[in-house]
Amino acid sequence: MKKEVDWNSRSKEERDYYDYYRSLGYDERTATVLALFTYGVSRTSNTTIGTRYERILAQLAEGDGEEELETVRGGRISRLLRSVAAPASSQKSSNMSSGAPGASTPSFLRSARPAPSPARRASAGRRRVLREASLDAEESSMSAPVEASASGILEEEAPMADSMSFMAGSTAGSTASFTGANPRSRRFAERLMETDEYDPIEEKEFRSAAVNMTSTFRMTTNTASAGVILNQLRSDRRIDKSMVRIEEMLNYFRYQSEKPEAEKFKISHELCASTGGKKLLYINVQGKEEVKERQNIVILLDVSGSMCGNAKKTQAMVATIISKLKAGDKLSLVTYSSRDEVVLKGMRIWEEADKIKALEALLGLEIFGGTYGSAGIETAYEIGKEEYVEDGNNQVILITDGDLNFGITDRGGLEELIEEKKKSNLFLSVIGTGLYNYKDDKLETLAKHGNGVYRTVNNLADVKKCIDEEYASLVNVIAKDVKAQVEFNPEVVESYRLLGFENREISHEDFVNDKVISEPFGSGGYGVALYELVLRESGKPVESGFKYTKMVTTGSSELGTVKVRYKEPLEDTSKEIEYAIPSAEESYTDNLRLAYVVYVCAEKLRGSDKITEEDVKKAQKFCDELGEEIREMNKADLYKLPEILRRTAKELHVGIDSDTDFDW
110: number of Cβ within 10 Å: 28
Residue 422 has pLDDT above 70, yes or no: yes
The arrangement of secondary structure in 295-475, i.e. its CATH architecture, is 3-Layer(aba) Sandwich (3.40)
Give me the pLDDT at residue 187, please. 44
Give me the pLDDT at residue 101, please. 33
Question: What is 387-422 written as a DSSP string?
Answer: T--TTSEEEEEEEE-----SSS-SHHHHHHHHHHHG
Confidence of residue 408 (pLDDT cuts 50, 70, 90): low
State the burial class of residue 317 (Cβ atoms within 10 Å of its Cβ: 0-12, 13-18, 19+): buried
Confidence of residue 531 (pLDDT cuts 50, 70, 90): very high
Average pLDDT over residues 552-560: 89
pLDDT digits (tens, 9 = 90+) for 67-99: 445 544 443 333 333 333 333 333 333 333 333
Nearest to 128 by CA among 364, 405, 366: 405
Give me the pLDDT at residue 409, please. 55
614 against 402, higher pLDDT? 614
Query: Which DSSP symbol is given to 153?
Result: G
Residue 602 has pLDDT above 90, yes or no: yes
Residue 181 has pLDDT above 70, yes or no: no
Q: Answer whether CATH 3.30.1490.480 is correct for domain 207-289+479-646.
A: no
Average pLDDT over residues 205-215: 94
Give me the pLDDT at residue 105, please. 36
Number of H helices, E strands in the chain: 23, 16
Give me the pLDDT at residue 576, please. 97
Give me the pLDDT at residue 508, please. 96
pLDDT digits (tens, 9 = 90+) for 230-247: 988 888 888 989 999 999
Give me the pLDDT at residue 194, please. 59
Confidence of residue 496 (pLDDT cuts 50, 70, 90): very high
Give me the pLDDT at residue 196, please. 76
Range with the poorest average pLDDT among 167-171, 288-292, 463-467, 630-634: 167-171
Average pLDDT over residues 125-138: 35
The helix/strand/coil state of 161 is helix
Average pLDDT over residues 323-343: 93
pLDDT digits (tens, 9 = 90+) for 265-281: 999 999 999 999 999 99
- Report the distance separating Cα 556 and Cα 489, nearest Å: 8
- Report the distance separating Cα 341 and Cα 503, nearest Å: 35
Domain with CATH 3.40.50.410 in the chain: 295-475
Give me the pLDDT at residue 575, please. 97
Average pLDDT over residues 352-372: 89
Give me the pLDDT at residue 280, please. 98
Question: What is 2-53 written as a DSSP string?
Answer: --S--GGGS-HHHHHHHHHHHHTT--HHHHHHHHH--TT-GGGTT--HHHHH
Range with the poorest average pLDDT among 54-68, 164-178, 464-478, 589-603: 164-178
Domain with CATH 2.60.40.1230 in the chain: 207-289+479-646
Nearest to 245 by CA among 500, 597, 457: 500
